[in-house]
Amino acid sequence: MQTIICQSFPAWDTPYVKSTLELITRMAETHRVIFLDYPYTVKDLIQNQHAPKASLLGKSGGKRIMETAFGSIEVYNSKPMIPVNWINSPMLFKVIMGINAFIQSFTIKSILKTVDPEQTNLINAFNPVYGYFTSKYWKGISTTYYSYDNLEATVWAGKWGKEFEGKFLKKADQVIVSSKGLLDKFQGKHPKIQCVKNGVNLGNFTKVKTEKTQNKKIGYLGAFDDRIDTQLMIESALAYPGYTFEILGDQKVNSEIFPSNIQFLGAKPQDQLNAILQNWDAALIPFIRNEFTQSIYPLKINEYLAAGKPVISTDFADLLDFKGMVKVCTTPEDFISGIAKEIRYNNRLKISKRIEFARQNSWESRTQQFLQALAS
């Protein structure tokens, strides 16, 4: 059996939907999967409520066997790292990251003792800084860089991300990205780039209403953060005072600036999403268009469609894949008026078409595409 090692930035214990975890979980059905978890720091050990503290402290050798619906996954945690985001000096950053890589090397060596390098693929999931500094410890295992966001445009990685992503690209054997925007970004920077777009967990949407709803509810699923056009959301809520706008996800903005018909429900487990989405008459993607969002293939689009809901979106990225399925708006006026039109003209046939479209974009299908890309 072939082995896949994932050196991950997304944490195993994250409560949110992450493409990395969706993909590697399904790979466990046909492969041995080893997950090298997010490099938690000593600060995380104290403050992060989701950090696996026992594993970080070395209990059971920092290894956990996690049983999933598709197979078991071996999750490894290295000892806590030294925080580096505060560092402004390039020299100091390299020194501290060298130490962190050395700390992680003990876990890497433990993993390598159990695998056949010739039958093993290493996926670095959006963690090029650690990928670069630990590359010498992986002993030539075929390496794929998996990028699902524009790293250099993120707040948390903007300082060092661009430099070390570029350096890590020279060490990676291939690159797999999740969107057309990222495919364009990496063209000319690596000779082997492939695109595997995000999917949807269809198991969460088994009970879907095929009749048009009239619940006077409109929703948004996902973190409500700096990607959101807050002014557009305010204007939309004011334009539809008879509707409740439900925000289903982490709230990272000041709720006091929004009209009273915008309600923040907070983050919910995956298996609870569908019950809430089914009460929405329409679903929104009110993203601003900038360097970061232009590279996004949002998970929520396929989730909305799997729930059968009309989708109204800004033109934040290349959404040609969803032509005829999603109302893509170029102006605020078009977005606001589009909400009423999509709700008014929704029907059973459109609902069925959305659900069928989403079925073609399942995570099972995306996983097979990813595995084919690894093998090519």
CA distances from 88 to 81, 93, 126 (A): 18, 7, 22
- Do 164 and 232 lie in a common domain? no
- Do 184 and 152 lie in a common domain? yes
pLDDT at 140: 85
- Do 280 and 136 lie in a common domain? no
- Do 185 and 44 lie in a common domain? yes
Q: Which residue has the tokens 């989701």?
A: 50
Q: What are phi and psi of 104, to 5 degrees?
A: -70, -20
pLDDT tens-digit map of 174-212: 999 999 999 999 999 999 999 999 999 999 998 898 999
Percentage of the residues of the chain whose pLDDT score is greater than 70: 100
pLDDT at 60: 86
Q: Give the total residue count for the chain.
A: 376
Q: Torsion angle of alpha carbons 301, 178, 164, 47, nearest 10°? A: 40
Band of pLDDT at residue 159, cut at 50, 70 and 90: confident
- Do 19 and 50 lie in a common domain? yes
Q: Are residues 312 and 338 in contact, defined by beta-carbon separation less than 8 angstroms? A: yes
CB-based burial, 194-229: b 16+ in 10 Å, e otherwise: bbbbbbbbbebbeebeeebbeeebbbbbbbbeebbb
- Do 207 and 195 lie in a common domain? no
**Cα-to-chain-centroid distance, residue 190:** 23
Q: Is the pLDDT of residue 16 over 90?
A: no
Q: How many domains does the chain have?
A: 2
Task: Please state, in angstroms and rounded to a whole number, the distance separating the CA atoms of residues 52 and 61.
Answer: 13
Domain housing 180: 3-199+363-375
- Do 139 and 181 lie in a common domain? yes
pLDDT tens-digit map of 103-130: 999 999 999 999 999 999 999 999 999 9
Q: Which residue has the tokens 């006091």?
A: 256
Band of pLDDT at residue 232, cut at 50, 70 and 90: very high
- Do 273 and 293 lie in a common domain? yes
Q: What are phi and psi of 84, to 5 degrees?
A: -125, -10
- Do 367 and 302 lie in a common domain? no
pLDDT at 175: 98
pLDDT at 102: 98
- Do 368 and 341 lie in a common domain? no
**Cα-to-chain-centroid distance, residue 182:** 14
pLDDT at 198: 96
SS3 143: strand
Residue 337: which CATH number?
3.40.50.2000
Q: In the beta sheet, which residues pair with residue 176?
A: 146, 194
Q: Is the pLDDT of residue 20 over 90?
A: yes
- Do 34 and 142 lie in a common domain? yes
Residue 72: which CATH number?
3.40.50.11010
CB-based burial, 120-153: b 16+ in 10 Å, e otherwise: bbbbbbbbbbbbbbbbebbeebebbbbbbbbbbb
- Do 182 and 207 lie in a common domain? no
CA distances from 105 to 75, 118, 249, 322, 347 (A): 15, 20, 36, 43, 56
Q: Are residues 204 and 274 in contact, defined by beta-carbon separation less than 8 angstroms? A: yes
